[in-house]
């Protein structure tokens, strides 16, 4: 991984989206020692600050490096066949209940070696990086045994060493019931709580723990056991909740101080209130909504009213969102969920970082780590408006330009 550069680097005349909003006028941005050292309007050129700086870019739009706070990037195989089945009218739930869906990816992932998983996942990671991602979360959940869940987490950590990117890892042992535990879901939850979580914590392989709280996943009572184990091991909590039905999983997660509740199409007002009170971020996953051709919209207006921060993520996974293009997610968040472009971009920067508990990332402010994107566009809203690969001109990770075209 490149170390940060010690020389001063200057960007001139950029339109800045600072993580929450576009700044009023063109700015100069100075980076030093891996951090943002100066940010001032271009018309008031600061000679003293810029002294000795190397100019590395000018013009265009600068945003924080994008934060993809919810991905299942590590897996083997693919599910193109199920895509065709769904187009013929078979539902995601029916496919899952017949042993396909998540379990189909589990079969492929269990037999893959770490190196094979790296080889399968790197192109997906590279696609995210080429579209501006500097921080991402990667979940396990296609192993469902202690050893194969840890294998997935090790692969996720290794991916973060192979590329200039921050990877946070999440143990999603409670993703689906593996076939060997059929009819014994509570016993499987015991395996997650008593063995997987302690092992992942001991080996420092997981930053957080996630669950799939759903009819085809785990009940709220089972998820609560997982949250208690996560808490006991000092791991952050996240939940896939209210994706296909309303079981109250988001409110439950909020009661456990969850960083985020994700999907949330079926979230009701009580759930929104619980999230607002706990400071739990709402992670919107428009890719999964789009691919599953869902019709139930997440309660965007209620989330706004209660001031719940909304993050937007790719949910990149082989079943419900085989899409590795974060700026497309910004577009879908606007077209499908009617977020404003400003909200969608905040969802992929400041609020995405918050959904990972990273409060100094996802923003352009003096003192923040210099994870930045320079885009060949004129206004930040264009990132959500147009769907077009190749607009990233420079990607800066930890103060180092790691990509330039
Ligand atoms: O975020 N909802 C559950 N988990 C994933 C999908 C996993 C899969 O189908 O492989 C999701 O949509
Ligand atoms: Fe997911």
pLDDT of residue 402: 93
Task: Give the mean pLDDT of the chain.
Answer: 96
Domain annotation covers residue 2? no
Domain extent for 187: 65-353
Domain annotation covers residue 1? no
Percent of the chain with pLDDT over 70: 98
Residue to probe by mutation, ligand 1, list 212, 238, 322, most atoms within 8 Å of CB:
212
Domain annotation covers residue 112? yes
**Which ligand does the CA of 287 lie closest to?**
1
CATH number (domain holding residue 21): 2.30.40.10
pLDDT surpasses 80 at 149: yes
pLDDT in tens, 16-27: 999 999 999 999
pLDDT in tens, 262-307: 999 999 999 999 999 999 999 999 999 999 999 999 999 999 999 9
pLDDT in tens, 45-70: 667 777 889 999 999 999 999 999 99
Q: Are 151 and 84 in contact (CB under 8 A)?
A: no
Whether residues 83 and 180 share a domain: the answer is yes
DSSP string for 167-209: EEEEEEEETS--GGGTT-HHHHHHHIIIIIHHHHHHTT--SEE
pLDDT band at 404 (very low <50, low <70, confident <90, very high): confident
Domain annotation covers residue 18? yes
CA of 116 to the centre of ligand 2 (A): 22
Tokens of 65: 């490096």
CA-wise closest residue to 138 among 111, 161, 171? 171
| Closest Cα to atom 8 of ligand 1 | 319
Whether residues 73 and 51 share a domain: the answer is no
pLDDT band at 4 (very low <50, low <70, confident <90, very high): very low
Whether residues 319 and 394 share a domain: the answer is no
Q: Are 219 and 189 in contact (CB under 8 A)?
A: no
Whether residues 89 and 216 share a domain: the answer is yes
Q: Are 65 and 19 in contact (CB under 8 A)?
A: no
DSSP string for 266-323: T--HHHHHHHHHHT-EEEE-HHHHHHTT------HHHHHHTT--EEE----BTTTB--
Whether ligand 1 lies within 6 angstroms of the CB of 249 is answered as no
Distance in angstroms (rounded) separating the CA atoms of residues 291 and 301:
23
Whether ligand 1 lies within 6 angstroms of the CB of 266 is answered as no
Q: Is 320 within any annotated ligand binding site? A: yes
pTM given for the model: 0.97
Whether residues 229 and 185 share a domain: the answer is yes
Distance in angstroms (rounded) separating the CA atoms of residues 312 and 331:
10
Around ion ligand 2, residues with a beta carbon closer than 5 Å are: 315
Whether residues 378 and 347 share a domain: the answer is no
Whether residues 330 and 382 share a domain: the answer is no
Whether residues 126 and 59 share a domain: the answer is no
Whether ligand 1 lies within 6 angstroms of the CB of 137 is answered as no
Rounded to an integer, the average pLDDT of 318-334 is 98
pLDDT in tens, 192-229: 999 999 999 999 999 999 999 999 999 999 999 999 99
* Beta bridge mates, 55: 10
Ligand 1: nearest atom to the Cα of 142: 10
| Closest Cα to atom 12 of ligand 1 | 320
């Amino acid at each position: 991984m490149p170390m940060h550069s010690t020389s001063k680097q200057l960007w001139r005349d950029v339109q800045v989206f600072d993580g929450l909003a576009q700044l009023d006028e063109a700015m100069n941005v100075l980076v030093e020692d891996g951090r943002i050292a100066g940010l001032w309007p271009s018309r008031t050129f600061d000679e003293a600050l810029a002294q000795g700086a190397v100019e590395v870019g000018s013009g265009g739009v600068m945003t924080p490096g994008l934060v993809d706070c919810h991905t299942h990037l590590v897996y083997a195989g693919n599910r193109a066949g199920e895509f065709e089945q769904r187009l013929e009218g078979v539902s995601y739930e029916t496919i899952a209940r017949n042993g396909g869906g998540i379990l189909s990816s589990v079969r492929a992932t269990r037999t893959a070696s770490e190196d094979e998983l790296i080889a399968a996942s790197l192109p997906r990671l590279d696609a995210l990086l080429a579209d501006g991602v500097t921080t991402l979360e990667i979940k396990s959940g296609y192993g469902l045994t202690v050893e194969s869940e840890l294998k997935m987490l090790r692969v996720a950590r290794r991916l973060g060493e192979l590329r200039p990117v921050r990877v946070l890892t999440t143990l999603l042992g409670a993703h689906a019931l593996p076939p060997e535990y059929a009819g014994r879901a509570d016993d499987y939850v015991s395996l997650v709580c008593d063995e997987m979580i302690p092992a992942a914590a001991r080996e420092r392989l997981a930053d957080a723990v996630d669950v799939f709280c759903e009819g085809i996943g785990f009940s709220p009572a089972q998820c609560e056991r997982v949250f208690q184990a996560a808490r006991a091991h000092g791991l952050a909590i996240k939940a896939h909740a209210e994706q296909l039905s309303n079981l109250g999983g988001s409110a439950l997660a909020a009661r456990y101080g969850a960083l985020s509740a994700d999907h949330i199409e079926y979230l009701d007002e009580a759930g929104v209130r619980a999230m607002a009170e706990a400071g739990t971020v709402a992670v919107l996953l428009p890719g999964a909504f789009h691919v599953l051709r869902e019709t139930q919209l997440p309660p965007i207006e209620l989330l706004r009213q209660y001031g719940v921060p909304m993050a937007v993520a790719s949910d990149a996974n082989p079943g419900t969102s085989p899409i590795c293009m974060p700026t497309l997610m910004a577009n879908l968040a606007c077209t499908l969920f009617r977020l404003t472009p400003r909200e969608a971009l905040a969802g992929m920067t400041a609020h995405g970082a918050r959904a990972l508990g990273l409060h100094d990332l996802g923003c352009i402010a003096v003192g923040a780590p210099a994870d930045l994107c320079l885009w060949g566009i004129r206004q930040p809203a264009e990132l959500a408006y147009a769907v077009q690969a190749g607009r990233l001109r420079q990607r800066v990770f930890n103060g180092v330009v790691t990509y330039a075209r």
